[in-house]
Structure 1
Amino acid sequence: MNLKPLKGQHHVSAITANAQKNYEFYTNTLGMRLVKKTVNQDDTSMYHLFYADERGNPGTDLTFFEIPNAGRTYRGTDSITCTFLRVPTDDSLLYWKKRLEDHGVSHEDIRKGGTRMVLFFEDFEGQLLALISDQGNGGVKGGSPWARSPVPQEHGIIGLGPVMLTVSDLGPTEEMLTEVMGFRKKGPYRLEVNGENTVHVYETGEGGNGAEIHIIERPDLAQQRPGRGSVHHVAFRVEDEEELRRWIQKLKEQRIASSGFVERYYFKSLYFREPNGILFELATDGPGFEGDEPFEHLGEKLALPPYFEGQREQIEARIKPLNTKSP
């Protein structure tokens, strides 16, 4: 079957126990824009928050499901262990190091991660994140930071960078990425993060920061027990619904269990697990977030897809109001 290469990261979805603090951290501290305040379509009693560039371009979204009673995360293997966020230059990392210090955010020193400079830090729930410099980076273009962000646009976050997985057995995951999903293997690098590790790099499409998966093999670790601050899944970009349906057929032919077609209104999706159990999603680039809200007012009100609009009163009664005044 003749499929186009996946275009790179689409979004990463994680878990928070406190939507209000989550909003304040990702908008006021990290300067991202809340482009959609909606609910988890599989459980409408919880928020689903989308932070991104100025209009939620695909490849810039970091999203969160709110689970108020979520316990702590016990870090381990067979999980998504770090999400990288792209910033324009090496100088941007200097700006960010000072900003994180000023906001009391736990972080490490700026260092080299492969061929690029990175700055590891944690959010208020212990989720491991890293800012990665786009200086000298080719491949998938980044987005455009929001003009009303508290972070200067020349240093603003421009999208998702590599997503780091930690797995107990690299071989089957590599086979899934290269033989099924069309990723290309790149040279590894050494990185000290939770110990000294070899990081295996895979890229798709145009490559670069926005289209890489970084994998650490750690058979010595116990499996992660997810909770607040853990990552639920990573999604990869496909052009449109027609291409997504080709992927559904390919997985069926390969006898890989999947969700089949899932309507998410803002995009169309397909879910499946790689051999170590990490949840992957393929998601279409469109329609996007401006079908039910104008650009100027994205994320200001609770947005519901049309098929949930009839339940608005019941849904709003079950979720705690969220103050999302502009930072």
Structure 2
Amino acid sequence: MRLKGLHHISMITGNARANFDFYTKVLGLRLVKKTVNQDSPYTYHLYYADEIGNPGTTLTFFEIPDAIRGSKGYNSIARVGLRVPSDEALAYWEERLTMFHVKHSGVYEQFDRNVLDFEDVDGLSVQLISDRRNEGVAGGTPWEGSPVPSEFAIIGLGPVLFSTLKKEKTDRVLSKVLGFDRMGAFEDDEKLVTVFQVGEGGNGAEVQLEGNFKDAHAVEGIGSVHHVAFRVEDDAELREWVEYIQDLGYPNSGFVDRHYFHSLYFREENGILIELATDGPGFKTDFEKERGTYVELPPALENRRAEIEAHLTELDTDI
């Protein structure tokens, strides 16, 4: 069993309209699926990705308008990464974010790579990272309809930062359970950050881990990360992971059918929720161009369409 890299990252937003406008009109990602939270179908679940939603390119958001505001701290996924093709692309993004009045750090070097930090409309911490020196997992294909030129466009997920109180426990899960390799370390805000990569490696297969003794415990809510998913080849391998994680005694979901992929969820010892997800079937199972107000539902929920749509706020996603 060998994980292949990042699959998707899921966050919480308080406003689907503001979220859609930011991720499509500012960041230039494609809304590949407008569907609902399968565990709470009266709320939206929005998927943004590359042209066809390739594994390793997808950000997903649960809309929970009544959720509390999340707060940063330890035992959380403190930052998500997005890959861009080059240092020149980072310079473009520095200008673009300024144009849209998005506060950002400016470009700086971190672990021998150029990066740029900013926050989205909900306060989620995001880092753009240049793929100029990247070797490993390939990026995706930019959306042809994006307002961002393809040579500067976001091409996939980059490193995610785990911030934990008991760093050694998460280190053990990454290296001993999930098979990540330690690639080195760097200093960030007076914290030592260890860099791990898996599979082919590279920016699309990286987790960064810091020990956090400075902050309070993170609070999950609007503007925070719900979970991160890593890529598994197929159902057969996922079932091996299910058995393995259960044998180790981690609280877990067992095999779960998410329609677009199949999953296993478990919490590591600092409480971070990790998902292992298959590459297929993929979004192309019912993929087509955006259809305005249409909400796509998995087959198990289709017979409840009228009921579900009655509870959803209107969200026209034509751009």
Q: Deviations over 1:288-310 (max 9, x none)?
A: 1121232x347862100011000
* Residue aligning to 1:106: 103
Query: Could you tell me which of 226, 233, 237 is aligned with 2:231?
Result: 237
Q: Deviations over 1:71-100 (max 9, x none)?
A: 222211000010010000001000000000
* Residue aligning to 1:166: 163
- Shift in CA distance, 299/175, structure 1 to aligned 2, threshold 3 Å: farther
| Deviation of 1:168 (Å) | 0.3
Which residue identity lines up with residue 145 of structure 2 in the other structure?
A: R
1:197 lines up with 2:179 in the alignment: no
Which residue identity lines up with residue 223 of structure 2 in the other structure?
A: G
Amino-acid identity (%): 52
* Residue aligning to 1:304: 297
Q: Determine helix, strand or coil for the equivalent of 2:228.
A: strand
Query: Could you tell me which of 122, 131, 134 is aligned with 2:131?
Result: 134
Gaps of 5+ in 1: none
1:36 lines up with 2:30 in the alignment: no
Q: Deviations over 1:25-73 (max 9, x none)?
A: 0000000000000000010011000000010000000000000112222
Which residue identity lines up with residue 247 of structure 1 in the other structure?
A: W
Provide the rounded CA distance (Å) in 1 between the counterparts of 2:172 and 2:213: 17
Which residue identity lines up with residue 256 of structure 2 in the other structure?
A: V
Provide the rounded CA distance (Å) in 1 between the counterparts of 2:293 and 2:279: 22
Contact 1:203/1:213, CA 8 A, preserved across alignment: yes
1:152 lines up with 2:149 in the alignment: yes
Provide the rounded CA distance (Å) in 1 between the counterparts of 2:293 and 2:145: 14
Contact 2:292/2:318, CA 8 A, preserved across alignment: no
- Shift in CA distance, 53/47, structure 1 to aligned 2, threshold 3 Å: same
Provide the rounded CA distance (Å) in 2 between the counterparts of 1:318 and 1:93: 40
Provide the rounded CA distance (Å) in 2 between the counterparts of 1:140 and 1:299: 33
| Deviation of 1:284 (Å) | 0.4
Contact 1:168/1:220, CA 8 A, preserved across alignment: no
Contact 2:291/2:317, CA 8 A, preserved across alignment: no
1:179 lines up with 2:176 in the alignment: yes
Provide the rounded CA distance (Å) in 2 between the counterparts of 1:293 and 1:204: 29
Q: Determine helix, strand or coil for the equivalent of 1:110.
A: strand
Which residue identity lines up with residue 18 of structure 1 in the other structure?
A: N
Gaps of 5+ in 2: none
RMSD between aligned residues: 1.1
* Residue aligning to 2:218: 224
- Shift in CA distance, 285/318, structure 1 to aligned 2, threshold 3 Å: same
* Residue aligning to 1:283: 277
Provide the rounded CA distance (Å) in 2 between the counterparts of 1:287 and 1:13: 19
Contact 1:36/1:299, CA 8 A, preserved across alignment: no
Q: Determine helix, strand or coil for the equivalent of 2:140.
A: coil
Equivalenced residues, count: 319
Which residue identity lines up with residue 191 of structure 2 in the other structure?
A: N
Q: Deviations over 1:186-231 (max 9, x none)?
A: 110122xxx3221111110000000010011013321111221100
Provide the rounded CA distance (Å) in 2 between the counterparts of 1:212 and 1:300: 36
Provide the rounded CA distance (Å) in 1 between the counterparts of 2:52 and 2:287: 11
Query: Could you tell me which of 222, 244, 255 is aligned with 1:250?
Result: 244
Provide the rounded CA distance (Å) in 2 between the counterparts of 1:153 and 1:298: 23
Contact 1:168/1:221, CA 8 A, preserved across alignment: no
| Deviation of 1:152 (Å) | 0.2
* Residue aligning to 1:273: 267
